[in-house]
Structure formats: structure tokens, C-alpha cells
Amino acid sequence: MTQLISRLDDIAAPYDVLLCDLWGCLHNGKALYPEAVAALQRFRARGGAVVLLTNAPRTRHAVKKRLDAMGLPADAYDLIVASGDATQEAMLSGAAGRKLWHLGPGKDADLFEIIPEWLQDQPPIELVPLEEAEGIICTGPFDEFSDAPEDYRAQFLYAKTKGLKMLNANPDLVVDFGETRLICSGALAALYAEMGGDVLSFGKPHPPIYDYARRELAKIGARTESDAMLAIGDGVRTDIRGARAEGIDAVFVTGGLESAHFGTDPQAPDAAALEAWLETEDLHPRFAIGRLA
């Protein structure tokens, strides 16, 4: 059975590295959760390393800029690893060709503009209209506040007919922005795959983002073995399934995306309801917590 805990400190001692999700765990898209920030600071203060492992379809530079604006202290983490980083690596390696149609908002432009030094010798990527594209890079809908996956069915049918591969920069289906639920790139990629399109995904639960995180951890001398890590996340199909596939223990944050299943208090999930729901999902993370603290 999954062990329900109230504080990270109670179970953190055996682990050297935290892989902590952002949305729903550390913030709600608008504001940080102070208790969660303090929990990460305490973990680092005793010598642990914290990786902010996010399915954001942008590079770590853009993620850091947003976290700085929200006021996240520098002593709360060691590294940021984003789905956008792993996607960018594949994109610049030519995984979908060099002429790409970008499906996504302008705020994701850093994916094409901030190129890591070790990838700067790759041939450039050209962003072109769909009719000229060799592939697709999807970072989300053009308008995340109003668009739905079905709005893109016509373009996807055309792309599938042309045999275009899609690079999906964010496997999340939805995210909560304050009290508003928005669709993510993963929902668009799911429709394209359902229509017969070829999709490659790079964030959680897929291996590339974990490989990327391990390489970054090695650079700072931190442990990279699975038994040294503890994953924290509110997405069962991303954070928790990804951790299980990597052999990493996980803390399921019940007060995030799935909080409606576990009672009226996001900070105090109903234990029986939680266990029953996890059984239907065929998932049994080692730990669960209402809100990270």
C-alpha cells in the first residue's frame, strides 16, 4: 500500500536527490506554495540535491526566468531540467527534419533562440508554414486559453497525409493555471497519434528527460542511481508512471491535478479513496502527500 505522509522530512533521509515537478507541486502557475519551497530548502540544507524536473515545453532558461519572477529562492534547487531541453536536443539533431512547423505560442521561442554551446554546430532549424514543413514541433496550442485539440484536426490530417513526424515538447494533457484548466501539447499529440500520426515525446514519463537529468546531475557530482532518487509529482500518468519506469521511488502529490478524487481538503486526502483510486490506475507509488511540505 501507498504510505500517506504529511511532511517530506519524515521519509527523505534515504535519498540523495529529489526530482520535483513544478506545476501543482511547487506552484499553481501563478504563485509559489511556501511550504513546498521550505521543504526543498530543508532537503538541500542537509546535503541533498534538488532537480526541478518539469514538462514545460521551454528550455530551463525560460523556466528559470519565470521562477525568478515568482520569487523562488536560489537555495531551493540545484538544477532545472525541462521537457523543452530534451526536445531541443532531438530537434537540433534533426529528429523531424530541418524545416519545421511550430505549433505553439510565441512564448516558447527560446526553444529556437537559446541554443546550448554543445549543440551550436548543428545545422540550423528553419521554421516554416505547414505546407513547407518536413516535420512538426508542438509546444502547445496557439491560444491555450481558448483552443481545443479538435481545432487542429484539419492541419493534422494534412500533416499525417504528408507523413510528418511530430516532436511533442510536453506530454502533459492539461495543467491548472490558478483555477483555470488549460490543455497542453500532450493533448494535441494524443489526437495526432490517434489519427495515425507519428509522435515522439520527450518529457515525463518518457526516458529522454530522465537521461538528460542524470547527465546534468553527473556534472555537479551528484548521484545518478535510481535508488538514490525520489520523484515528487501530481501527475500519475507522467510523474508517477515515469518514476516507476525508471525504478525511482515516488511521492504522489494528491492535492494537484487529481485532488477532486480524494475529498474536499486538498491537504488531507481521504486514505480509502486514495487507495481505491490508485488501484483503478494500477499504480502504487511508495508515498503520497496532500501538498508538498
Are 53 and 78 contacting, i.e. CB atoms less than 8 angstroms apart? no
Task: State the pLDDT at residue 29.
Answer: 85
Q: What is the DSSP string of 226-258?
A: GGGEEEEES-IIIIIHHHHHHT-EEEEETTSTT
Of 276, 283, 280, 241, the C-alpha closest to 21 is 241
pLDDT of residue 246: 98
| pLDDT value at residue 174 | 87
- Measured distance CA(69)–CA(204) in Å, rounded: 25
HSE-up of 81 (CA within 13 Å, CB side)?
24
The per-residue pLDDT for 7 is 96
Asked whether 209 and 56 are in contact (CB, 8 A), the reply is no
**Per residue of the chain (293 residues), what is the pLDDT tens digit?**
899 999 999 999 999 999 999 989 999 988 999 999 999 999 999 999 999 999 999 999 999 999 999 999 999 999 999 999 999 999 999 999 999 999 999 989 999 998 888 888 888 899 999 999 999 999 999 998 999 999 999 999 999 999 999 999 999 998 878 778 889 999 999 999 999 999 999 999 999 999 999 999 999 999 999 999 999 999 999 999 999 999 999 999 999 888 889 988 988 999 999 999 999 999 999 999 999 99
Q: What is the pLDDT of residue 266?
A: 86
53: left (phi over 0), alpha (psi -120 to 50) or beta: beta
| Among the listed residues 152, 287, 165, 174, the one whose alpha carbon sits nearest the alpha carbon of residue 232 | 287
